[in-house]
Structure formats: structure tokens, C-alpha cells
Chain A
Amino acid sequence: MTSQKPIIEIKDLGKTFRPKSGEVKALDGINLSINQGDIYGIIGMSGAGKSTLVRCINLLEKPTSGSVFIDGQDISKITEKELRTVRYSVGMIFQQFNLLMQRTAEKNILFPLEIAGVDKETAKKRTAELLELVGLPDKAKAYPAQLSGGQKQRIAIARALANNPKILLCDEATSALDPSTTNSILKLLKEINHKLGITIVIITHEMSVVEQICSHVAIIDKSRIAEDGEVEDIFRNPKTEIAKKMIFSEGDQGSVVMGKNTYRIVFDEKSSSDSVIAKMVLETKCLVNILHADMKNIDGFAFGQMVIQLPEDELSAARAVNYLRSHQITVEEVGTHVG
């Protein structure tokens, strides 16, 4: 699906809010390039600036500096009217769904078509298609208040897709949903990406969302991009503290007791099928204590990580680490900051 043509390019983007009490720098020197067909995750802790960043992509927030290119066009330099036309091709969904409460599901999907001035006949046909696509043709006449969270988000997705956008922006789209509904929405997004070739940008604070569907990820921390690249690479070899923290702390907060000589090891496709740990114990006679182990499926690749504790004896610990490194396995010492 991925071709090498950037559909979204963000160059040296900055956004400073100026409320009465001083300045707040929400974004600073952001550079991002998102290719057509990517599912691009932007992850960060709350307050990191990710929601502001996604709003800068369709200029719901006006950046204070830098530029945003959509399909090669610098949208920070065009008129309001031209911007509205650009927005027809950039759909967006939200954490709180933001459906029009006084309109039925069907009329909600019709809304962007009315805005764009699509003729009634075509719009009606398109609405029916979209309800089919999101699997809710029987809910056409229902009002949002009568729908569940997952159903509301499906309608919101259908609405965002009405004008055949090239890009779909998702702002914490699954954060208000329970895990199983989250999965079904993510599946739907992936399906849309595959079927329609729509580039998807996902803002989230949950690493599991990135794991499940993203091809690329940017980790945003303190208003800046800490690290970005293919999800597999970042997971295998996170370089920055924040990346390690975000990847590592996922799902085991507080459950791992960290001690001295704790290491994180990462397996990839090849090594995960080998019984590396068992062999290491046999060959180096070094006893390991497994603190945490986890297997993930990232973008179709098996990916495992394990936290082990090695003996206090530095020599045998070093032997074990060397053994793992010689088998092309990523090993790194974990500080006590994790968990």
C-alpha cells in the first residue's frame, strides 16, 4: 500500500498559545512527512501537543510558524475558501464522536455532502454505500443518542469518508471506547486503508493502538517529535527515553518489580522462533529470572520483548549479555525508571 509520495508534509511547525497568563508552547519545530497509504500514528502523553498537531494538519489550529503541505500544496498560505475545499478531502474523527445530535445517522453522513454542495440524488446513494461500509445500514434512521459508542464512531467514520477524502485524521478516536469496540474500530480503519487507499493519521496515547494498525509512528514529547519512523524499527530499537518508556510501560505498569541488573531484550521475526533464552542459560550457565514477557503482532510481524534479571555476579551477567548480542538480539539495561 505504501508508496513513497508524501501526502502530508509538515515543515518546522510551531504553535504557541498566548493566553493572558504568559505563553504556552504547544508545538516546536515539528517536521513530519507522511506518505500516501500510510497509517501514521502520533503518540504522546497527554499534554504533549499531539491534539494540537493533528489540528494543524487541517488548520483547525493556525500554526504560529512553519508550513503544512497537503498533496504538495502549502495550505497555510491559501485563502479561507480554498482551505474549505482542501478540507473536503481531509476527513476527521474525534474522541467524543461529535455527531450532530439533532440529525439521524443518515442525515449526519449526508451533512458533509450538503456542505460540499453534492446533488441530492448522488448524496443519497453515497450515504447508503457508507452505511453499508461501516456495517450499520439498519441504523439509518436512528439518532446518535440511540446508538452505542462504537456505533457512533462508525457513523462518524462514514461521515468523514463521505466526500472521498485522501486523508483521514483520527483524534483519540478509540479513547472513549471499551477494548473490544476499540479493536473493531481499528479493524474498520485498517480495512478502509487497504480498500480505499486512504492515508490515516492516528493520534493516541495508547501504544496498543499503534501496535495494532500503524505502519509508522512519531513519538511526541514536550512539544517536539522525539522519534519517528517505521513502527517495527521503533519497537525494536527505541532510541529515546520517552520512546522506551512508552513502549515498555504498556500493559505492565507497576506489575514488574525492577531490581538491579535488569535487561530488556527484543526479539524479531527470526529470533522469536528460536529458544534463545534456554540456549543462553545452557551455554553460559547464567541463571536468568524472567520478570516480564510479551509477544506482539506489529504490522504483520511477530515481535517479542522480555525483561530479565541477571545474576548479581557481573562476569556471568556480561557473558549472558554478550551471548545475546552475538545472536543479534537487542539487549539493553533497564533503569529503575521503568514500570
Chain B
Amino acid sequence: MWDSSMTALMVQGTIETLYMTLASTLLAYVIGLPMGILLVTSDSEGIVPMKVLNQVLNIVVNITRSIPFLILLIAVIPLTRLITGTTIGSTATVVPLVIAAAPFIARLVESSIKEVDYGIIEASLSMGSSPMQVVTKVMIPEAKPSLIIGAAIATTTILGYSAMAGIVGGGGLGDIAIRFGYYRYETGMMVITVVLLVLIVQLFQEVGMKIAQKQDRRK
């Protein structure tokens, strides 16, 4: 049953999974990071309280977070086609992944930033920092270890989501698992994809933790 074409398939699947995960994480951070920061700064206790913006952000995040990924994946198909010109393959999967992951990341970022001692923010304000300087010079650098751990969690979660995209022909290891393991009852293939997925998750988690630990100057 096993031959070189299988190996090629697995390698291809792994590459696709990594591509989907990393591209989606990156793009989701482009949206989620500023969202998370805005959630903190626009809060009524934040450095630039903006009630309406804060409420809108919270609602958007909560709604998106409450839609199960599998349903979101199908629901956004028209948008996916509009952006990528196709609805199958790993590039197409990036669209729903980003939509699902961005609000999740916003929450992760929000909680990391909130961990920064308000005293430090107050001190920087007392020195004449602008809100932008507080964000770039205090909030993000001070929350760095926590943000990195958050990024590791986000990456592994997105990896899990990407496997689900196999249902609609999303490419990657999840796709292989569904096509061979589920539709064709090839349990061996299923086991291999699962092992590969576990290894990738472990890798991301470990690397994330190591970097976070190295960056943490608080002890």
C-alpha cells in the first residue's frame, strides 16, 4: 500500500498544512493584533476610552467567535471565491481561517496586554508618552512573553481549523485524512496524518514556549 507516491502525498500535505497555518496566522495577526490592542485602549478604563468603538469591536468579536468553524467555512464561500477566485485548495482555505482566527487572536492579545501592570503605563504617561507610544513602547514590549505564548496557542488552534477545511477540499493533511482515511477506510493513512499533525503542534508549542521563556525578563 505504501509507496513513494504516498510519501510525496504526505510531504505535499504537510507543506500545504504549514502554508495554510502560517499564512493564516500571519494575516489573522495583521487584523487581530490591532483589534486586541484597540479592545484594551478603547475600554472605559483604557488610555483612550472610546465607548462606541469598544462596543462594536466586542460585538463583532463575540459574533464571529460564536460561529462554529465548519459553518463559517461554508458560509463564507462566496467571499472566498471573490478574493481567491476558487473555493478549493489551501489558498482558498486561508480566507475562512483568517476570518475565524482574527477575533480569537484579538481576545488573546487583549488578555496579554491587560496583564501589563497599569502602574507602568501610568509612569510612561507621566513622562509624556502619546497613546501610540504607550502601545508601541510599553504595551507590546512589556507583554511580549505573553504575546508569544498566545501566538503559539493561536498557531496550533489555526492548524486544527485548517485540518477541518479538508471537508470542503481545503488541502493539507486534514484533506488527506478525510479523503483516504475516512472515504476510503485507509486507517494507516489516517494514523500517519494524525501523527504528523501531533508532531507539528508539538513543534509550534515547544518553540513558542522556548522563545517566550527566553524573552521573559520578569524573573
Contacts and interface: CB of A to CB of B under 8 A. Distances in A.
Interface of A: 58, 60, 84-88, 90-92, 94, 96, 98-103, 111-112, 114-116, 143-145, 156, 159-160, 163, 169
Contact of A100 (B120, B128, B130, B219): B120
Interface string B127-144: 111100100011001101
Contact of B217 (A101, A111, A114, A169): A101
Contacts of B218: 101-102, 145
B120 to A, nearest CB: 5
Contacts of B119: 94, 96, 98
Contact of A111 (B124, B130, B215): B124
A100 B138 contact: yes
Contact of B141 (A87, A103, A143): A103
B125 interface: yes
B63 to A, nearest CB: 27
B126 interface: yes
B123 interface: yes
Task: List the 6 closest A-B pairs by CB distance, nearest first.
Answer: A87-B128, A98-B123, A84-B128, A92-B126, A112-B127, A98-B119
Interface of A, helix, strand, loop or mixed by DSSP: mixed
B206 interface: no
Query: Which residue of B120, B123, B129, B130 has the most chain A CB atoms within 10 A of its CB atom?
Result: B123
7 contacts: A87-B127, A88-B128, A90-B126, A101-B120, A101-B218, A111-B127, A156-B123
Given A100-B141, A102-B141, A145-B217, A88 B127 contact: yes
Query: Which residue of B119, B127, B144 has the most chain A CB atoms within 10 A of its CB atom?
Result: B127
A82 B169 CA distance: 58
A60 B217 contact: no
A33 to B, nearest CB: 22
Contacts, number: 74
Interface in B100-123: 117, 119-120, 122-123
A114 B132 CA distance: 13
Contact of A114 (B122, B137, B219): B137
Interface string B24-64: 00000000000000000000000000000000000000000
A112 B218 CA distance: 21
A85 B128 contact: yes
Query: Which residue of A58, A115, A116, A143 has the most chain B CB atoms within 10 A of its CB atom?
Result: A115
Contact of A60 (B120, B125, B144): B125
B122 A115 contact: no
Contacts of B128: 84-88, 112, 115-116, 163
Contacts of A160: 127
Given A100-B138, A114-B137, A115-B137, 14 more contacts: A86-B128, A87-B127, A90-B126, A96-B117, A96-B119, A100-B141, A100-B142, A101-B217, A115-B124, A115-B127, A144-B217, A156-B123, A159-B127, A169-B126
A58 B123 CA distance: 11
Nearest to B121: A98
B209 to A, nearest CB: 17
Contacts of A143: 217
B130 A145 contact: no
Nearest to B141: A102
Contacts of B126: 58, 60, 87, 90-92, 169
Contacts of B142: 100-102
A102 B144 contact: yes
A112 B126 CA distance: 10
Contact of A98 (B120, B133, B215, B219): B120
A201 to B, nearest CB: 13
Contacts of A98: 117, 119-120, 122-123
A254 to B, nearest CB: 33
Contacts of B124: 100, 111, 115
Nearest to A101: B218
